[in-house]
Chain A
Amino acid sequence: MKPPDFQLSRNAFGRLVLTTRDGHVYENIVPVRAFPISAPNDGLALIDQEGHERAWIGSLSALESDTETRALIETTLAEREFTPRILRLHHVSTFATPSTWRISTDRGETSFVLKSEEDIRLLSASSLLITDRDGVQYRIPNIAALDKHSKRLLDRFL
C-alpha cells in the first residue's frame, strides 16, 4: 500500500489538522467511518468542519506503514465512539416499553431506558444494536454468548 497523500497532525487545541499534498491545510478534521457496523475498519473519511470530505482512507490496515497517522485516527475515533458491549442483563423493570434495563457492559455497570422495541436493531441473526432513550448505543455481538437469565429477559423484547 502506498503511503497516504496527506499528513495528519494534532494541534495545540487537540484537534486534527490535515495537510493535503497540494498544500491545503484543514483544521478540525474528524474521521468518520463509512460502515461503522458492517465494516468498521474499511472506508474512513476525513471530514472538515463544513462536512466536506477532504481525504479518504480505503482501509485502516492500509495505514500500516504510517503508524503515527493510524494512531492519531484511532485515538480520535475512540474518543468519539461510545458503544458499550452488553455482557449481562440483570433486571428489566417491565416487559412493556418504556422499560429500564439494568446491565453490565464492558465499560461497567449501568442502566438505561429502552423507549420502544423498535430501538432494538437486529444486525444479524445473533447480534443486536440497542439504542436507549438518549441515543446511546449498546451492542450485543453474540446473543448466544449471553447467560441464560439475560437471554430469557432479552427474548421477551425480540
Chain B
Amino acid sequence: MPKCALAAKFFYSAAVGAKASPVMTQTLEALPSATAALPASLPAAWQTSVSLLPNEKILGWAVVDLDARLRFAQELLVVTDQRLFSCALSPENKPVYREWGRHDGLRLSHYDHAGVGTLELFDDHARLHRWRYTLAQDVAILRVIQAFSQWQEIRSADEESATSCPVCGTPLSTDSDECTNCAVSGNIAPPSTWILFRLWRFARPYKGSLLLGFVLMLASTAASMVAPYLIMPLTDEVLVPAEKGVPVDVGLVALYLGGLFASALLAWGLGWGKTYLLALVSERIGADLRTASFEHLMHLSLEYFGGKRTGDLMARISSESDRICVFLSLHLLDFATDVLMITMTAVVLFWINPWLALVTLLPLPFIAWMIFLVRERLRTGFEKIGRAWSEVTNVLADTIPGIRVVKAFAQEARETKRFQEANRHNLVANDRVNRLWSLFSPTVSLLTEIGLLVVWIFGIWQVSQSHISTGMLLAALAYIGRFYTRLDSMSRIVSVTQKAAAGAKRIFDILDHVSNVPEPANPAQLPTVRGQIELRHAVFRYGNQTVLRGINLSIAPGEMIGLVGHSGSGKSTLVNLICRFYDAAEGAVLLDGVDIRTLSVVDYRRHIGLVLQDPFLFFGTVAENIAYGRPGATREDIIAAARAAHAHEFILRLPHGYDSRVGERGQGLSGGERQRISIARALLIDPKILILDEATSSVDTETEKEIQTALDNLVRGRTTIAIAHRLSTLHKADRLLVMDRGQIVEEGAHEMLIARRGAYFRLYEAQARRVDTEFVSTPWNNAVSATDRSSK
C-alpha cells in the first residue's frame, strides 16, 4: 500500500464548482508525520494511507463500499473538525483524494433504494459529489452525517461520548456492551459440552452435600462389590467340598451368607442415601437455575422480549432447566456409578486373577462400541421423532388460540386434516425408529451373552488346567453380568450430555444477556417530580433500521400531548423511549432536566402510568389487579381509584365484587371493563407522567365515551402523552404532534394544524371522509379551548 499523503499531484478536486470555497491544497509531505492520531478503530488498510493535518480531529468516518458505477470498491469518508474528505484507491492502487473545506451551505443528504444507499454533498448551488454504498454501511454513514452537522455547527466534540461496537461500528447505548446490530445477525456456534461446567456456579452452594453424595456413591458401589466376591469362598470352601462329601461347616456358611445379607443391606442403605441426597441437590440446582434465569429475564429490556417468542422463553426456563436437573440427578449419577463400578470390578478381577480379568474385560470395549453404533443410528431417528412431534404441537398451538377464526370460516375439517397429517408424520417417524429400537435390547442381551460365553470358555479351560478355582470363575461371571447390562445406559450418556449442554447453553443465553436498559451504578435521586419531559435528538434503531430520526421535543409539566401519525411512524417507539423500555441509541430523554438513564429504572417507572390498547390483567382478584403497581394500597384507595375510573359499579356487579377473580371462566370482563380496570391501576399509583397508547381504540364508541370520561379524570394534572388513531379522542390535547417516518413533521393545536392544510389535515380529512357520524358529532369545538390553553 503506497503511502498516500495529500500530495498535490494526486489531488482531484472533482465536482467542486468555481463558486465553492477553495479547497485546501497543502501537501502533508512537508509536515511532520503523525501529526494527529488516527482512531484505532479505523480499518488497518486505511491506517497507512491516510494522514491528518496538525491538530486535526476526526469526528466521524465511514467506508463507502461502492463506486459511482455501483461496483464494489472501498472509499474512506472522513469528517474532521477542519474538512470533509474521501480517499479512494485508483486501479493503479494510487490513492485519490477529494476534499472539501468548511463553508456555508454545505450539506449532506442521504436516501436509500433497493439496498443501495446514496449520500450526496450539496452546496447552495449544485451537487458537489455523490457516494454510493450498501446498507450494511448505513449506520456508519448516519454517524458521518451527524458528525458533519456537528462540524458545521462547530460544536465541541466533547459531547460525543458514545462508544461503538468493535465489530460493526454501530454506536452502542451507554453501559451496554451488546450491539443490537450484531445480535441480529447472530453468532451461531454449536454448544460445547464444556458449558456444563458453568453450572458449577449453581452447584457451589451445595459443595458439602455434593462431596458427601460422592463419598456415599463410592461406599455404596464398594458395598455392592462384596456380594459377588463372597461367591468365591462360598463355592470353593463350602459347595465344592460338600460335593466331595465333606460335611458342611454351618458356622462358615452362616458367616458367608450373613456377609452377603449385610453387604446387600449396606448397599441398599448407602444407595438410598446417595440417590436421595444427590436428587435433592440437583433439584435445588435446577430450582436455583430457574429462579436466576427468571429474575434475570424480568430485568431485561422490552427489546429482548420483542425479539423472542414467548413459547421459546417459557420452554427455556421451564423444560430446559428440568432437563438439566434430570441429567444431573439421573444420567450423570448413573454414569458415575457405572464408571466406578467398572473400575472397581476391574481392580477386583485383577486382584483375583489377572488373566481371568483380561479375558473378562476383553469383550467390553467391543460391546460398548457395538452399542454406541446402534445408539447413534437411533439418535437420528429420535431427532426425527422430535421434529415430527413439534409439528404436532405446532398445529395445536396454532389452532387452539385461533379457534374462533377456525370456526368462523368453518375450517374445522381442514385443521383436523392438518393435525392428522402431522400425526401421520409422527407415526411414520416412530415406526422407522421402532424397527431399530425393538432390535436394540435383544441385541444388547445377545452381546452380553456372547461376552459371558467367552468368559465361560476361557474359565472352563482355566479350571480344567487348575489355574483358577470354580469359585473364581463364578465370581468373575457374577461381576461382569452386572455391568454388561449397564453398558446400555452408559452409551446413552453421550446424547444426554449433548442435550443437557444444549439446554444449558439456552439458559446461559438468557443469563449472559446484558440488559439494554442498564441500572446506573449510582442512580441520581429525584425527590419530587414535576413531569417535564424533554427529548434531545433522540435516535432509535431496530438493527439497521432507523425508527426515530433525531426527535427534539419538550413537554411542559401537566401538558397533554397527542401523538398522531400512520402506523409505523414511530409513535409507539417514542413512547417506549419515554417509558425507558428501550434506551435511545443516540440523544437523550430527560425528566425534569435529568437524563433518565442516570435514574434507577424502578424509581423512574414509578412515575409513569401506562394504559395500553389491550390491557393485560393478571390472574388474580380485581382488587389485586388494581393495586398491581402499589401492592400496599388500602381498600379505600382501591375503591377511590376504581370510582375515578368509572369501574366501581360494574365491579360491584361481579359475583364477588372486588374479590372476583379476573380471567376465571364465566367471569370474563369486556374490553371496556378491562380497560377501566387498567385505568384504575394507573390512577392508583398517582403517576406524574401518563401514557395512553391507543387506550380506546379496541372498544366501541359507546364504551369509548365511558372510558374517555374515566381518562379525563386520569389526565388531570399529569403530563400526558396519548397515542390515538381516532383523532377525536385527542380533543383534550394541548398540543398535537404529527409523526411521519420517525420524525415530527408538524406540531400545534388542532385548529392550527387544520389551517395549515398539511399532514395532519390529510389525516383528519381521511377520517372525516369515512361516513362515520361519530366524527361529525364529535365535539371538536372542545379543541378550541385546548388551543387557548396551549397558546398561553
A contact set with B: CB distance below 8 Å: 32-39, 42-43, 45, 47, 51-53, 58, 118, 121
**Residues of B contacting A121 in the complex (Cβ-Cβ under 8 angstroms):** 661
Q: How far is the CA of A52 from the CA of B146 in the complex (A)?
A: 60
Within the complex, the shortest CB–CB distance from A41 to chain B, in Å, comes to 11
Known interface pairs A32-B657, A35-B623; A53-B636 also in contact (CB < 8 Å): no
- Whether the Cβ atoms of A51 and B653 lie closer than 8 Å is yes
**Residues of A contacting B648 in the complex (Cβ-Cβ under 8 angstroms):** 45, 53
**Residues of A contacting B621 in the complex (Cβ-Cβ under 8 angstroms):** 38
Within the complex, the shortest CB–CB distance from A135 to chain B, in Å, comes to 8
- Whether the Cβ atoms of A35 and B657 lie closer than 8 Å is yes
- CB-CB contacts of B660-672 with A at 8 A, as 1s and 0s? 0100110000000
**Residues of A contacting B294 in the complex (Cβ-Cβ under 8 angstroms):** none
Within the complex, the shortest CB–CB distance from B394 to chain A, in Å, comes to 26
Within the complex, the shortest CB–CB distance from B398 to chain A, in Å, comes to 24
Known interface pairs A43-B635, A43-B639; A34-B657 also in contact (CB < 8 Å): yes
- Whether the Cβ atoms of B657 and A33 lie closer than 8 Å is yes
Number of A-B residue pairs, CB cutoff 8 Å, is 46
- Whether the Cβ atoms of A118 and B649 lie closer than 8 Å is no
Q: How far is the CA of A37 from the CA of B624 in the complex (A)?
A: 13
Within the complex, the shortest CB–CB distance from A45 to chain B, in Å, comes to 5
**Residues of B contacting A53 in the complex (Cβ-Cβ under 8 angstroms):** 648-649, 652
B658 at the interface (CB under 8 A from A): yes
B288 at the interface (CB under 8 A from A): no
13 contacts between A and B (CB under 8 A): A32-B657, A35-B635, A35-B659, A37-B659, A38-B659, A43-B635, A45-B652, A47-B649, A51-B650, A51-B652, A51-B653, A52-B649, A118-B664
Residue on A with the closest CB to B624? A38
- CB-CB contacts of B615-628 with A at 8 A, as 1s and 0s? 00000010100000
Q: How far is the CA of A43 from the CA of B652 in the complex (A)?
A: 11
Within the complex, the shortest CB–CB distance from A130 to chain B, in Å, comes to 13
- CB-CB contacts of B367-391 with A at 8 A, as 1s and 0s? 0000000000000000000000000
Q: How far is the CA of A42 from the CA of B623 in the complex (A)?
A: 14
Q: How far is the CA of A149 from the CA of B639 in the complex (A)?
A: 42
B656 at the interface (CB under 8 A from A): yes
Within 8 Å by CB of B649, from A36, A37, A51, lies A51
Within the complex, the shortest CB–CB distance from A98 to chain B, in Å, comes to 14
Known interface pairs A43-B635, A43-B639, A121-B661; A37-B656 also in contact (CB < 8 Å): yes
Known interface pairs A32-B657, A43-B635; A38-B623 also in contact (CB < 8 Å): yes
Q: How far is the CA of A58 from the CA of B634 in the complex (A)?
A: 12
Residue on B with the closest CB to A118? B665
**Residues of B contacting A38 in the complex (Cβ-Cβ under 8 angstroms):** 621, 623, 658-659
Within 8 Å by CB of A36, from B636, B650, B657, B664, lies B657
| Residue of A34, A42, A45 with highest tally of chain B CB at under 10 A | A34
Residue on B with the closest CB to A42? B635
Q: What are the 10 tightest A-B residue pairs by CB atom distance, in nearest-first order? A: A37-B659, A34-B657, A32-B652, A34-B658, A35-B658, A45-B652, A36-B656, A35-B659, A38-B659, A53-B649
Within the complex, the shortest CB–CB distance from B605 to chain A, in Å, comes to 27
What 15 additional pairs, Cβ within 8 angstroms, besides A35-B658, A43-B658?
A: A32-B652, A33-B657, A34-B639, A34-B657, A35-B635, A35-B657, A36-B656, A36-B657, A38-B621, A42-B635, A43-B639, A47-B652, A51-B653, A53-B649, A118-B664
Within the complex, the shortest CB–CB distance from B8 to chain A, in Å, comes to 85
Within 8 Å by CB of B659, from A36, A47, A51, A52, lies A36
Q: How far is the CA of A43 from the CA of B738 in the complex (A)?
A: 46
Q: How far is the CA of A140 from the CA of B365 in the complex (A)?
A: 63
| Residue of A45, A52, A118 with highest tally of chain B CB at under 10 A | A45
- CB-CB contacts of B252-269 with A at 8 A, as 1s and 0s? 000000000000000000
Interface residues of B in 466-525 (CB under 8 A from A): none
- CB-CB contacts of B512-545 with A at 8 A, as 1s and 0s? 0000000000000000000000000000000000
Q: How far is the CA of A41 from the CA of B421 in the complex (A)?
A: 59
**Residues of B contacting A36 in the complex (Cβ-Cβ under 8 angstroms):** 656-657, 659
**Residues of B contacting A43 in the complex (Cβ-Cβ under 8 angstroms):** 635, 639, 658
Q: How far is the CA of A137 from the CA of B650 in the complex (A)?
A: 21
- Whether the Cβ atoms of B659 and A58 lie closer than 8 Å is no
Interface residues of B in 274-310 (CB under 8 A from A): none
Within the complex, the shortest CB–CB distance from B307 to chain A, in Å, comes to 33
**Residues of A contacting B665 in the complex (Cβ-Cβ under 8 angstroms):** 118
- Whether the Cβ atoms of B635 and A39 lie closer than 8 Å is yes
**Residues of B contacting A47 in the complex (Cβ-Cβ under 8 angstroms):** 649, 652-653
**Residues of A contacting B639 in the complex (Cβ-Cβ under 8 angstroms):** 34, 43
**Residues of B contacting A32 in the complex (Cβ-Cβ under 8 angstroms):** 652-653, 657
**Residues of A contacting B635 in the complex (Cβ-Cβ under 8 angstroms):** 34-35, 39, 42-43
Residue on A with the closest CB to B634? A42
Within the complex, the shortest CB–CB distance from A28 to chain B, in Å, comes to 15
- CB-CB contacts of B633-659 with A at 8 A, as 1s and 0s? 001100100000000111111001111
| Residue of B636, B639, B659, B661 with highest tally of chain A CB at under 10 A | B659
- CB-CB contacts of B586-630 with A at 8 A, as 1s and 0s? 000000000000000000000000000000000001010000000
Q: How far is the CA of A37 from the CA of B650 in the complex (A)?
A: 18
Residue on B with the closest CB to A50? B649
